[in-house]
A and B are shown apart, each in its own frame.
Chain A
């Protein structure tokens, strides 16, 4: 846009830095509370994931324990990573981004500590309750009945606080990240209440519960995690490489198209199922229309990066974020195609869908959150990450891990689907065929687990104050071209 700005004077810069420090110190407590809890849930969820994964190919592993039977561990895993790690990472990040972008300090941070605490209590009850046999087998909503009040109270506080921070903004320009966050903190509580109400309270008949279930399941990703992930990437990429977003107008189109079409996409999970046919068709249309926001966001993220790819060599935060942003494009294209009936006919009911879900929730969302954490946490604690090598280990374990994961289950799942569709193939052959792919997945899961342990170590070290003090430059993978590794003051 044709606005010329006068370059800021040193005094302006100092004033802006002071303001940023003030904002960061106001939200430090709750954001770190959310972030640390999220990483704890990530470790719990990863452990559960590996247990469940091994059980699928080695049924004698930890058998005989009712608490660790596959079905319960599977439910507990989804809750721990989906509702524990992902939501808490997103909320912590959203809180900080909202404060920063609104140039507003956080009011009464103690109340957000209460919100994070409530979410954690709910999650402990959730995971332990499921393992104890109180799970409900409603995908994404497996939590025992006594969990919902904690989550609702917590998200209620969080949403009101995020909106309040936005209302108190001192920055007149509303950046696209703020739109996404504001919409997400509005969507999720409404979505959750409507769904829980319609499945468990109103007691809708038969398949109607499943329709609401998948409307929720898909929108949890589409209207809660995706806006926060995309929003965070919109903030991080331009910020780290120091260039404005490619197109302001595209970001508007991307946002509104996502709001309109993503919410219509969920029911394609029931294609071929006992639901009115027009419903699945409507959702397929919604899914295909998702090409519009995805392409808009893809152009914006990738065109902004164009010419700055060398920064990926040294900036950890950017490397994670760009990995996530690129995966977002890929996984969304794949998702749209998966909603087609002919494709779904094979891929549905197989591990192909599991691979797709992990590419979205992990390859995209989780990787962007890692990027956000690497950027945000040093600014909150005033400490740099103590080991660039460990960050590198984290990145490669996760990037290679999710790639192996995706390829093995995509290939295995596709042929599983082809064989399921041929009644001349005995069921036992399919089970045996899929086993090596599931074993490969377990290996990939362990690799990702190593990355998560590295990340947790870095976070604990940072919170414990073991890293270098900020001010002499961030922890880079390698020294940036033309700059010494440590020397120049880092941008705050």
Chain B
């Protein structure tokens, strides 16, 4: 046989062996998996995502959330640490990332499946059980408004800063201090001169702040003024509000429906 044919046929055979073993066999094994129903009449698990959440999957994958957040809870035998002279296992579950390990059935309806391979941030398999919608919105808008140490990007571009119409705030508007909302994505703080100008232009402001935050400080001194500024920055802007766009709503809807490690499954028992 020609040398070239040997190489091509050999390459084909070795390649086919791995395709058969690593792709076709598991494909056949997993292909007919069905949702689980604990007893007749119960809702099958996993449920299909709502339409909003499905749109949220698109936002999640377009922005590469997967590159910092996994969606898989590892087994109670995985992840070990020493505690009181004893080796313990099951770090993922102990961190509160899920009640049990996730198994293939949890991902039945996922497309794309967003398992992830990196934990720069915490695992999100069960994040829907941990936080409220308001928390999610504020955290996405600027994660550092909750955790100063967070290195997660701000997703302020999923939100709109707009003037308040007719003095009435939208119900969905974020309840955040002006330090986070004046310059979305950043933490804003005026310089001393700017702060002086703001105080001068709003005569009642200093007194109102002082009244709302009783304590021993002298607003005439620089320290006192800086302290006043700290109070002012945590108050909401009166004339502007930050509201989620449809994308932000969808993303949060998806995050809230992420509850992969709750419903008991027989095969997840260990």
A residues whose Cβ falls under 8 Å from a Cβ of B:
55-57, 59-60, 63-66, 69-72, 74-75, 133-139, 142, 163, 166-167, 174, 179, 182-183, 186-187, 190-191, 194, 198-199, 203-212, 215, 219, 223, 256, 259-260, 263-264, 266-267, 269-270, 272-276, 279, 282-283, 286, 345, 348-351, 353-354, 420-424, 427-428, 431-432, 434-435
Nearest neighbor of A64 in chain B, beta-carbon distance = B185
Interface residues on B, range: 35 or more
Say whether, besides A215-B18, A274-B107, A186 and B8 are in contact (CB < 8 Å). yes
Would you call B30 and A420 a contact (CB within 8 A)? no
Segment touching A, from B36-44, B97-105, B234-242: B97-105
Would you call A279 and B113 a contact (CB within 8 A)? no
Segment touching A, from B146-154, B170-178, B195-203: B146-154
In this assembly, does B7 line the interface, its C-beta being within 8 Å of a C-beta of chain A? Answer: yes
Would you call A63 and B153 a contact (CB within 8 A)? yes
Interface centre among A57, A204, A423 (most CB of B within 10 A): A423
Q: Chain B contacts of A435 at CB under 8 A?
A: 151
Whole-angstrom distance between the Cβ of B206 and the nearest chain A Cβ: 30
Nearest neighbor of A78 in chain B, beta-carbon distance = B67
Would you call B22 and A283 a contact (CB within 8 A)? yes
Would you call A348 and B153 a contact (CB within 8 A)? no
Whole-angstrom distance between the Cβ of A126 and the nearest chain B Cβ: 14
Whole-angstrom distance between the Cβ of A160 and the nearest chain B Cβ: 13
Nearest neighbor of A341 in chain B, beta-carbon distance = B78
Interface string of B112-124 (1 = CB under 8 A from A): 1111011110100
Q: Could you show 27 A-B contacts with beta carbons less than 8 Å apart? A: A56-B151, A57-B151, A59-B154, A66-B158, A70-B153, A71-B66, A74-B67, A75-B64, A134-B62, A137-B65, A137-B66, A138-B61, A163-B4, A182-B8, A203-B111, A205-B108, A215-B19, A259-B15, A264-B18, A274-B103, A274-B115, A276-B104, A345-B79, A349-B119, A354-B118, A431-B120, A435-B151
Would you call B149 and A432 a contact (CB within 8 A)? yes
Nearest neighbor of A283 in chain B, beta-carbon distance = B22
In this assembly, does B27 line the interface, its C-beta being within 8 Å of a C-beta of chain A? Answer: yes
Say whether, besides A64-B186, A70-B153, A71-B65, A274 and B101 are in contact (CB < 8 Å). yes
Query: Which of B17, B118, B157 contacts A260 (CB under 8 A)?
Result: B17
Say whether, besides A57-B151, A274-B101, A421-B79, A206 and B30 are in contact (CB < 8 Å). yes
Whole-angstrom distance between the Cβ of B250 and the nearest chain A Cβ: 13
Say whether, besides A64-B154, A72-B63, A283-B22, A139 and B30 are in contact (CB < 8 Å). no
Say whether, besides A194-B19, A206-B107, A276-B29, A345 and B78 are in contact (CB < 8 Å). yes
In this assembly, does B86 line the interface, its C-beta being within 8 Å of a C-beta of chain A? Answer: no
Query: Which of B60, B119, B144 contacts A137 (CB under 8 A)?
Result: B60
Query: Which of B113, B158, B184 contacts A207 (CB under 8 A)?
Result: B113
In this assembly, does B257 line the interface, its C-beta being within 8 Å of a C-beta of chain A? Answer: no
In this assembly, does B74 line the interface, its C-beta being within 8 Å of a C-beta of chain A? Answer: yes
Closest A-B pairs by Cβ, 4 of them: A71-B64, A206-B107, A64-B185, A137-B61
Query: What is the bound-complex CA distance between A89 and B21, given in angstroms?
Result: 31
Nearest neighbor of B18 in chain A, beta-carbon distance = A263
Would you call A205 and B91 a contact (CB within 8 A)? no
Whole-angstrom distance between the Cβ of B254 and the nearest chain A Cβ: 13
In this assembly, does B228 line the interface, its C-beta being within 8 Å of a C-beta of chain A? Answer: no
Whole-angstrom distance between the Cβ of A329 and the nearest chain B Cβ: 22
Would you call B120 and A56 a contact (CB within 8 A)? yes
Whole-angstrom distance between the Cβ of B78 and the nearest chain A Cβ: 5
Would you call B156 and A63 a contact (CB within 8 A)? yes
Q: Chain A contacts of B21 at CB under 8 A?
A: 264, 282
In this assembly, does B208 line the interface, its C-beta being within 8 Å of a C-beta of chain A? Answer: no
Interface string of B133-168 (1 = CB under 8 A from A): 000000000011001011111111110000000000
User: Dominant SS at the A interface?
Assistant: helix
Would you call A74 and B64 a contact (CB within 8 A)? yes
Whole-angstrom distance between the Cβ of B71 and the nearest chain A Cβ: 10
Query: Which of B23, B94, B119, B151 contacts A350 (CB under 8 A)?
Result: B119
In this assembly, does B219 line the interface, its C-beta being within 8 Å of a C-beta of chain A? Answer: no
Q: Chain B contacts of A350 at CB under 8 A?
A: 118-119
Q: Chain B contacts of A204 at CB under 8 A?
A: 27, 30-31
Query: What is the bound-complex CA distance between A267 and B22, given in angstroms?
Result: 8
Query: Which of A55, A74, A186, A212 contacts B23 (CB under 8 A)?
Result: A212
Q: Chain A contacts of B213 at CB under 8 A?
A: none
Would you call A272 and B74 a contact (CB within 8 A)? yes
Query: Which of A70, A167, A199, A273 contacts B68 (CB under 8 A)?
Result: A70
In this assembly, does B75 line the interface, its C-beta being within 8 Å of a C-beta of chain A? Answer: yes
Whole-angstrom distance between the Cβ of A434 and the nearest chain B Cβ: 8
Query: What is the bound-complex CA distance between A283 and B8, given in angstroms?
Result: 24
Say whether, besides A60-B186, A206-B30, A183 and B7 are in contact (CB < 8 Å). yes
Query: What is the bound-complex CA distance between A219 and B16, given in angstroms?
Result: 13
Would you call A186 and B11 a contact (CB within 8 A)? yes
Q: Chain A contacts of B131 at CB under 8 A?
A: none
In this assembly, does B85 line the interface, its C-beta being within 8 Å of a C-beta of chain A? Answer: no
Say whether, besides A63-B154, A259-B10, A349-B117, A208 and B64 are in contact (CB < 8 Å). no
In this assembly, does B33 line the interface, its C-beta being within 8 Å of a C-beta of chain A? Answer: yes
Interface string of B1-15 (1 = CB under 8 A from A): 001100110111011
Would you call A211 and B60 a contact (CB within 8 A)? no
Query: Which of A66, A209, A431 contacts B149 (CB under 8 A)?
Result: A431
Query: What is the bound-complex CA distance between A274 and B75, given in angstroms?
Result: 9
Whole-angstrom distance between the Cβ of B84 and the nearest chain A Cβ: 11
Whole-angstrom distance between the Cβ of B164 and the nearest chain A Cβ: 22
Nearest neighbor of A434 in chain B, beta-carbon distance = B120
Nearest neighbor of A134 in chain B, beta-carbon distance = B62
Would you call B157 and A59 a contact (CB within 8 A)? no
Say whether, besides A55-B153, A166-B4, A275-B26, A422 and B81 are in contact (CB < 8 Å). yes
Q: Chain A contacts of B106 at CB under 8 A?
A: 206, 274
Would you call B153 and A279 a contact (CB within 8 A)? no
Q: Chain B contacts of A163 at CB under 8 A?
A: 4
Query: What is the bound-complex CA distance between A221 and B26, given in angstroms?
Result: 22
Q: Chain A contacts of B187 at CB under 8 A?
A: 60
Query: What is the bound-complex CA distance between A477 and B53, given in angstroms?
Result: 60
Q: Chain A contacts of B63 at CB under 8 A?
A: 69, 71-72, 133, 135
Query: What is the bound-complex CA distance between A275 and B26, given in angstroms?
Result: 9
Would you call A273 and B65 a contact (CB within 8 A)? no
Query: What is the bound-complex CA distance between A64 and B112, given in angstroms?
Result: 27
Would you call A270 and B115 a contact (CB within 8 A)? yes
Query: What is the bound-complex CA distance between A65 and B154, given in angstroms?
Result: 10
Would you call A431 and B151 a contact (CB within 8 A)? yes
Would you call A206 and B113 a contact (CB within 8 A)? yes
Q: Chain B contacts of A134 at CB under 8 A?
A: 62
Would you call A279 and B112 a contact (CB within 8 A)? no
In this assembly, does B47 line the interface, its C-beta being within 8 Å of a C-beta of chain A? Answer: no
Query: What is the bound-complex CA distance between A203 and B67, given in angstroms?
Result: 22
Interface string of B198-219 (1 = CB under 8 A from A): 0000000000000000000000
